[in-house]
Amino acid sequence: MFIKRKNPLLKLMAILLVGAFVGRVSVHAQPAASCPNIEPVDLSTLLLPPPCDRCAITRAELAELQSLQKSRTPEMVKHASGDYTRTVERFLAGMSVPIKVDSVGAADALFQCAAKITEDAVGAAKMKFHRTRPYDLPNNGLRVLKKIAANDDPSFPSGHAAFGMVTGLVLDEMAPELRKRISARIEDFGLSRLISGVHFRSDVYAGEVSGAAVAAALLANSDFRAQLEKAKPDLRKSIGD
């Protein structure tokens, strides 16, 4: 059983969430030396709780993963496995028409900062909701595309999907002419988690909403905006501008 997906209205989502979160941006301990002071985004106040392990929605989502597993090709496996790497270079390289990029220069620090802030926010939400991973459910029948660790973090929301959304929305600010391709890549980055069998679709949805919320807070911060403008020339040079 497949759950239909609507294409995310990325810019609209970000604009709306800026209004919701701009008031929360304030001085706080820095997660990294190059990062601006941003109050953590409490995603648990934004997200609805995930379905329970025995709920019909979870069973339907598991059936979707099982079906995807049966239909995945070697190319899909390679692409989804590559998307385990959470860097802006991987995000760009995995676009439908690949962009040849080895490094984004000064923009690397900007995206590493965004990724760290996103990881912290998502990690707190994961601990709040504590959803079971699909491959940890009884009789799941999944062959996941990763080595399963005994201490894997909970499933909801997806950190990879959140990373993809944040990275895409920040890239959109730097290279708006790539908007359509960036939007498709955000969706594709989340789909890789389903192909891998490591997240339910609702985890991915929640990750994308989470990423939009974090991106809104970042883009409303004057220090982050200043860093973005300084990094933009290197980013645009790396994509062939």
Domains defined along the chain, listed by start: 55-238 (1.20.144.10)
pLDDT at 103: 67
Q: What sign does the CA torsion over 110, 124, 66, 197 have? A: positive
pLDDT at 99: 65
C-alpha 167 chain-centroid distance: 8
Q: What pTM does this model have? A: 0.84
DSSP string, 2-51: ----PPP-HHHHHHHHHHHHGGG------SSTTS---PPP-GGGTSPPPP
* Alpha carbon distance 195, 157 (integer Å): 16
Phi (first) and psi of residue 50, to 5 degrees:
-75, 165
- The token duo for 171 is 């890239």
* Alpha carbon distance 164, 182 (integer Å): 10
Three-state DSSP class for residue 88: helix
Residue ranges for the chain with pLDDT beneath 70? 1-34, 96-103, 241
